[in-house]
Chain A
Amino acid sequence: KAGVTQTPRYLIKTRGQQVTLSCSPISGHRSVSWYQQTPGQGLQFLFEYFSETQRNKGNFPGRFSGRQFSNSRSEMNVSTLELGDSALYLCASSPRDRVGDTGELFFGEGSRLTVL
């Protein structure tokens, strides 16, 4: 099986712009989660989507949003970029096919965003 695919891998934006990141989960996986990784704050949960619905949300401002499509692919969007949004954005998928699922998350390689 192909792993979790994130695009683009690297991108540079300027303050005030917006960015859209894409994530294709492992085939058959219905849940997609997004994380932000920075040297100062570490790994922080952004949100999780399952069956096209946001199920969980972390403590990030409304500038951070996401969505999931019927094929489980997901996108996240950050509007009005700030310097502090520079980070590695990681997407993770899991099967989540039953209540009580305790399986691990499968991470992509990440999208490294630099805001100038």
Chain B
Amino acid sequence: AQSVAQPEDQVNVAEGNPLTVKCTYSVSGNPYLFWYVQYPNRGLQFLLKYITGDNLVKGSYGFEAEFNKSQTSFHLKKPSALVSDSALYFCAVRAPPTGLYNQGGKLIFGQGTELSVKP
């Protein structure tokens, strides 16, 4: 069964410093991986995805993620954190299509990581 783990409940970073939010996954076959961000009392916003191709994926708001197949990880990174990046971040995985209709709308989410960026 697919699963996602975000080992850190909270990450604290000073503004201007690089940030990393960790994610590891377990899935049979090739993984489809996603990062979403959630601001208080809001829905989830898509940041980036990895389906295939380059291991370094660039996304919205200056975020990027590195896919590492051997370590089954998909860590979210940003070279210079902003106070406005403070939010809840979710890693998610979806199983690849197995038939005529794939599991496109079903994502397995990690528990989330609260990112706090201080001035």
Q: Kindly list chain B residues whose C-beta atoms are within 8 Å of the C-beta of A103.
A: 104
**CB-based contact B45/A107 at 8 Å:** yes
What's the tally of chain B residues with a CB closer than 8 Å to chain A?
A: 27
**CB-based contact B43/A56 at 8 Å:** no
Measured CB to CB, the nearest residue on chain A to B110 is A42
Q: Kindly list chain B residues whose C-beta atoms are within 8 Å of the C-beta of A42.
A: 109-112
- Which segment, of B19-27, B66-74, B78-86, B95-103, faces chain A? B95-103
**CB-based contact A99/B102 at 8 Å:** yes
Q: Do most interface residues of chain B lie in helix, strand or loop, or is the interface mixed? A: loop
For B36, B45, B97, B102, the residue with the greatest tally of chain A CB atoms inside 10 Å of its CB is B102
Q: Do most interface residues of chain A lie in helix, strand or loop, or is the interface mixed? A: strand
Interface residues on A, range: 20 to 34
Cα–Cα, bound, A99→B101 (Å) = 6
Measured CB to CB, the nearest residue on chain A to B43 is A107
- The yes or no answer to B107 lying at the interface (CB within 8 A) is yes
Interface residues of A in 78-116 (CB under 8 A from B): 90, 92, 94, 96, 99-110, 112
Q: Would you give 15 A-B contacts (Cβ < 8 Å), ordered by A?
A: A31-B105, A33-B106, A42-B110, A42-B111, A44-B109, A48-B105, A48-B106, A90-B44, A92-B105, A94-B105, A99-B101, A101-B102, A106-B46, A107-B45, A108-B43
Give chain A's interface residues, CB within 8 Å of chain B.
4, 31-33, 42-45, 48, 50, 55-56, 58, 90, 92, 94, 96, 99-110, 112
